[in-house]
A and B are shown apart, each in its own frame.
Chain A
Amino acid sequence: MNLSMEDVPPPGIALVEELDKLLLVQLRDGRKIVGILRSFDQFANLVMEASRERIVVGNLYAEVPLGLYVVRGENVVLLGELDPARDPPAALTRVSEAEIKQAQRAEKEQEKIKQSMKARMDFLDFID
């Protein structure tokens, strides 16, 4: 193991190889944006062209067109290179925007019920 300080690359060039590729950007609020990376800087601020939000609920997904987006770096969790042979994933079924919004609402409702059940059962400490 050689812990030398030599050949430190200039700051913020890690994404050069990703330029002009179709990427999936995972944001801190859970949203996922698919688009072509056109520019970036050392904070991972990004310019995404032809971008769309990919909304996934269970095994359904939909894509909502967004256009040209600038993403502030602090919101970026990860950038994934989309393998065209595996995209979209076979496990997911594409539905319309209206259908995914409905599925989102249903999921939120389910979560609310689960939370209220949990709150009521709280005195039984063996329930996870």
Chain B
Amino acid sequence: MLFYSYFKTLVGKEVTVELKNDLAISGTLHSVDQYLNIKLHNTRVINEQKYPHMLSVRNCFIRGSVVRYVQLPPGSVDVEILHDATRREARGGG
């Protein structure tokens, strides 16, 4: 559940989600669940001309299994804390 917890700390931030079908969507991270399904608000599709059907979509739900990358705002990762949490989880501490 480490990455779920981590993504929860990013709620409200501006992220870009790149999908396995090469569609890339940026928007405000609204919520995330334990499958790493992602909900974005005020979405904008990168290369809108190629995906005109997305022009009428403002908020969307992305199934976790189709996500390739999530691009995060710079400075949103505190590596020290993630590092510690990883060790804690590996020990079974949670």
- On A, residues with C-beta under 8 Å from B are 1-5, 8-9, 11-15, 18, 24, 26, 28, 30, 32, 42, 44, 54, 56, 59, 61, 73-74, 76-83, 86-92
Contact = CB atoms under 8 A, between A and B. Distances in A.
B58 A86 contact: yes
Interface of B: 1-2, 4-6, 9, 19, 21, 23, 25, 31, 33-35, 37, 39, 43, 52-63, 65-66, 78, 81-82, 85, 94
A78 B81 CA distance: 31
Nearest to A84: B56
Contact of B56 (A5, A26, A83): A83
Nearest to A8: B34
Nearest to A21: B59
Main secondary structure of the interface of B (DSSP, over half): mixed
A82 B56 contact: yes
Contact of B57 (A59, A83, A91, A92): A83
A15 B57 contact: no
B37 A44 contact: yes
Contact of A5 (B43, B66, B94): B94
Contacts of B59: 80-81
Nearest to A6: B5
A128 to B, nearest CB: 16
Contact of B55 (A2, A9, A73, A86): A86
Given A14-B33, A89-B55, A91-B55, 5 more contacts: A24-B53, A54-B53, A59-B52, A73-B63, A81-B60
